[in-house]
A and B are shown apart, each in its own frame.
Chain A
Amino acid sequence: MESRSVEYTPEQARAALDDVALRRRQLTGAVRPLPFWPLAVTVGWLLATGLLRELPTTPVSRAAYLVVCVLYPVGMFVANHFRPIRPRLAALGAGWWVRLVVGLALGVVVTLYAFDLAEEHTSMPNLIPSVVASAYLVLFALVANRWPRR
């Protein structure tokens, strides 16, 4: 039965607060959604298909790009959910869900818009959407996925 009062010196209190801050940083790192390589592969694939023009600008290619744009964020979320640490949304910063949903919607809109622009105004119907989708994914990683440290 611990009913004793506790006394901290200011130094001890500060040290304890430092430890609390450390544990919080540990958690943020621990729930980092995905490693860097899926993003790198995705961006590489997008750029390669755009450069090589392997995908014609058809509904199929649009669907492919959209799937890629959606897969990464969704995969990130799913991977997060099954990790040994189930994060508390508040600890990841308010609005994590909002960022995910907005990010997905933005990815869809940006990619579709890029396709339309490329079709109408350029002779590179695949390259421009690839670059735009890649830029979007990198941005998404930076903002929502917390760019991997180390």
Chain B
Amino acid sequence: MTGPAPQPDPHLATTTRLSIVAFLAGAEEAEFGAVRDAVGLTDSHLSKQAAALEAVGYVQVRKGYAGRRPRTWLALTPAGRAAFTAHVAALNAIVAAAGERLGPTPSGTSAPPGTR
């Protein structure tokens, strides 16, 4: 239990961004609407968050067509995947340091983390 403790990633500090990245972490890529529905966001909110994640190199946005309909696909980049893994490790370390036992709980609610 020595060595530098992993630090939470500030780009993933908001619940919304973490949710998006966590969802994308299990997919090669996901269509915009699928992510929107899964995370429970509006089109504009997801678009804004995806742009922010793309700006820091965590998410790749691909535009394409399904038939004649334009579609947008989101995918986690290797950097985004690494950042997500490190962020989760940091969260686990915080919980472990507090002496709590980790385990999946049915509730999916989360509180926004504090930043400074």
Task: Give the B-binding residues of A (Cβ under 8 A).
Answer: 2-24, 26-28, 30-31, 84-88, 91
Known contacts A6-B10, A23-B23; A15/B109 CB under 8 A = yes
Contacts A17-B95, A19-B18, A20-B18 hold; do A91 and B25 have CB atoms under 8 A apart?
yes
A88 touches B27 (CB 8 A): yes
Which label, helix, strand, loop or mixed, suits the secondary structure of the B interface? mixed
Q: Which of A5, A6, A23, A31 contacts B22 (CB 8 A)?
A: A23
Residues of A within 8 Å of B34, CB to CB, are 30, 84-85
Chain B residues whose CB sits within 8 angstroms of the CB of A87 once the complex forms? 26-28
> Could you list which residues of chain B lie within 8 angstroms of chain A, going by C-beta atoms?
7-11, 13, 15, 18-19, 22-23, 25-31, 33-34, 38-39, 56, 88, 91-92, 94-95, 97-98, 100, 102, 104-105, 107-116
Q: Is the CB of B19 within 8 A of A8?
A: no
- B94 to A86, Cβ gap below 8 A? no
Question: How far, in Å, is B30 (CB) from chain A's closest CB?
Answer: 5
